[in-house]
Amino acid sequence: MVMSLLLGVILIGVIFFYTRKIKKIKESFEIERGVIKLTAKKRSGAVQWGKTIEHFVPFMSDFPVPVEDCTFLGMPIDYVAFTQTGSKTKCAVHIIEVKSGSSFLMSKQKNIKKAIEEGRVHWHEISVDGNTVK
């Protein structure tokens, strides 16, 4: 009888201890979850702002090429521009990536930049049959 009573008291103590511990873990989890949600919301807003602003960057005074020479790609590079296309010696191709805030080049973008810097750029011309009725 005394043994059963002692075992019951110990069991109640263990249950009480772990119930409190679980409650503290849940509270800590909810706090951390809130911080993660807030951080994600801020990041998402920054990404959306960046995606929006990159459409207007060619109209800025310090943009490196005339806006009418640009074509927006978006991914993985923002713009490609062709300048002085009427000249055989001055015609140039520009690859332009827009970054805002603390953003940085993704690995694919770094690889593209390196390929351009190392001259691994190629021209491909593909001919296809026209849509003609015979």
The SS3 assignment for 119 reads coil
Closest to 98 measured CA to CA, from 82, 74, 121: 74
DSSP label of 68: G
Q: Reply yes or no on whether the pLDDT at 128 is more than 80.
A: yes
Give per-residue pLDDT as tens, 57-116: 999 999 999 999 999 998 999 999 999 999 999 999 999 999 887 889 999 999 999 999
Q: What is the DSSP string of 97-113?
A: ----TT----HHHHHHH
CB atoms within 10 A of CB 70: 20
Q: Reply yes or no on whether the pLDDT at 134 is more than 70.
A: no
Per-residue pLDDT at 27: 92
In the chain, the N- to C-terminal Cα span, in Å, equals 103
Per-residue pLDDT at 126: 92
Per-residue pLDDT at 68: 94
Per-residue pLDDT at 26: 93
Give per-residue pLDDT as tens, 15-63: 988 999 999 999 999 999 988 888 888 878 877 887 888 889 999 999 9
